[in-house]
């Protein structure tokens, strides 16, 4: 997939743990872990909004587009 989720990087920069962020965002540890480990297939905008509010960041700090190798235009 061409969208990379850099949640782990932003969490480290803000020194916020998984449990703390899960409570603040009101998301299960399992679902937050899926996002953190870049295994998610989708993310709700409301969840992204809550994460950005909790980490005081922009969506672009968490989401990154990287072109897949061999992908045709």
pLDDT of residue 7: 95
Q: Per the structure, how many domains does the chain have?
A: 1
38 occurs within a structural domain:
yes
Q: Return the CATH number at 42.
A: 1.10.260.40
pLDDT in tens, the chain (73 residues): 689 999 999 999 999 999 999 999 999 999 999 999 999 999 999 999 999 999 999 999 999 999 877 655 5
pLDDT of residue 70: 66
Contact 51, 45 (CB under 8 A): no
Quote the domain boundaries for residue 19: 3-65
Q: At what angle do helices 45-55 and 18-25 cross, to 10 degrees?
A: 120
pLDDT of residue 2: 87
16 occurs within a structural domain:
yes
**CA distance linking residue 2 with residue 14, whole number of Å:** 25
61 occurs within a structural domain:
yes
14 occurs within a structural domain:
yes
3-class DSSP state of 64: strand
């Amino acid at each position: 997939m061409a969208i990379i989720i850099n949640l782990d990087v932003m969490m480290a920069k803000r020194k916020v743990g998984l449990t703390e962020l899960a409570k603040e965002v009101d998301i299960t540890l399992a679902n937050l872990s899926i996002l953190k480990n870049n295994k998610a297939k989708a993310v709700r905008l409301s969840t992204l909004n809550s994460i950005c509010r909790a980490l005081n960041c922009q969506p672009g700090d968490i989401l990154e587009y990287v072109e897949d190798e061999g992908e045709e235009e």
